[in-house]
Copies of this chain bind each other. A is one copy, B any other.
């Protein structure tokens, strides 16, 4: 099939093996790219932005230092440049999303834009918005969002920072009462931000009024020095985002005026009367949005990593099947296909999952903002918590397998894989630790299960809990039957339903034995997490199937995606076969048929593997990988990038004279 790649990515000397892989594709890559982008117009716009942004010398990420000062400096320079281009070209929010994605979200002003500004917009009064937002938009105010503390992460109720109102002065006095109360982790807090929204416990006249957000100026707007009573610093090197100045903050009797408490939903009068105004539940939407965005990031991570590893596996030849034969492409090894193709399938599964999650986010948000209708939120929250956890777990697992699948070269920073792994490891814990989120999802599942036993109707994502599975028998009789999407979906739903019931039974057993609710919950929590994983996986698989049944695409594309979808569903069954057998969702004989079909599909996917990666259409600059370039010239890239290493700037390093030469002389003298 004709290859419709843009000429700018077509090298004159593409690796021949990679070229051959592309010729075997059974579908049109550009059409699939347009589906992934959301239409032809969006693909076009993305490419316009790519040629503007990725050719900009400041924004090209090619140099990969590991020096933190340098990384920080470069990231600040990049952020400033992006900000300037955004203002100059009047980019829409959607443009910005595309731009940040092509820069892999390495954006030093991310917290300012994604958390600080939206928080003022949502929690501030009209007067506060008018006062701060214009100054934030011109970066006079650069803000961060200071919530987590050294001793307090997931449990917000435990935060210790205090804001005590003093009626005589009309000021709040902010303090960090203990070591564990210091703010810890906020992005850009250490060196970049000059303001912070500080989450603190409000105290008035010796009484606590719970968590509120306070606008605190940290640094002078003249020379950026720290203001009195403020101590900030960087929390030190870390995995994942080395360029960000995640910081700590200690407050010592920092005084701010009364109108610096965000007062859209709660206010303090001059004489110290506290009052609530409406419901602040809407603030919850920021967190919901970030979690939905993370599912999107997980898709990015897996699709980038699989593009790198698949192209490399096509271009790399190593070993021969039989002594004396020429070396083969490593993609010819079944064990290598078994590393690549589950990740490829996971990437497409996550694509459709994030599309669905984002669609639901828009719908739920609209209901809330337009009609103050929160009724869809619990279901959405139930699936989103599980999906944030599952998608980030999947991303980390697949990226790891892929990075190992690239052998030694996968360890080099220049392969791009260590960076992807680091970034996605962070998402595993950030914005809600995954075990905690699975347990939140499980809480929703337990409630839904209870409803189902009482015959109450359930929303779409949990409707399967109401189905009568007792008479269900898996209809798989042949390897062919295993490809059927309805069959695969049912197998997953029955397993999820079984796991939910098993967890509910465990909980009930504990309660019946006399455990108080919270003890029973804790003691059943391992099974509760397992149930939440099963539920989220069933969602991903069923959503993949449903999305394909509704997809407007040509036959060839539908065919290849359908294969990928079957493969993914079967692969997960093999991976968790014990649960499926235990659930009675398949029999031992059916498991053997499934395993055979799963392995047989590898050969079916193989001719389209490179093309399915090409369809993600990552620009070479975005991938920034010596192994994953479009032209597959792996060795030239590895060598070229190695030469830029800081250790290679001088032929003999001073360390030799300092440490080795004197020792050599001393050892010689001992003889």
Contact = CB atoms under 8 A, between A and B. Distances in A.
A411 B645 contact: no
A237 B412 contact: yes
A335 B66 CA distance: 35
A362 interface: no
Interface in A316-346: 316-322, 327, 332-336, 338
Contact of A639 (B83, B179, B238, B599): B179
Contacts of A518: 321-322
A469 interface: no
A68 interface: yes
| Central interface residue in A185, A237, A404, A435, by most chain B CB within 10 Å | A237
Interface residues of A, number: 138
Contacts of A150: 635, 638-639
A138 B235 contact: no
A647 B234 contact: yes
A182 B639 CA distance: 9
Contacts of A525: 333-335
A428 interface: yes
A574 B577 CA distance: 11
A110 interface: no
Interface string A576-588: 1111111000001
Given A67-B67, A73-B658, A591-B578, A152 B426 contact: no
A243 to B, nearest CB: 11
Interface string A621-656: 000000000000001101101111111100111111
Interface stretch (A459-467, A471-479, A663-671): A663-671
30 contacts: A66-B67, A73-B654, A76-B660, A77-B658, A83-B667, A138-B664, A138-B670, A139-B660, A140-B664, A148-B408, A151-B635, A152-B318, A153-B408, A155-B320, A155-B327, A158-B318, A184-B408, A185-B408, A224-B652, A226-B651, A233-B642, A236-B641, A237-B413, A322-B518, A335-B529, A403-B425, A404-B429, A404-B433, A523-B599, A577-B582
What are the 4 tightest A-B residue pairs by CB atom distance, in nearest-first order? A577-B578, A578-B578, A234-B647, A237-B413
Given A87-B670, A578-B591, 9 more contacts: A72-B653, A73-B653, A79-B659, A80-B660, A139-B664, A158-B319, A225-B651, A236-B645, A578-B579
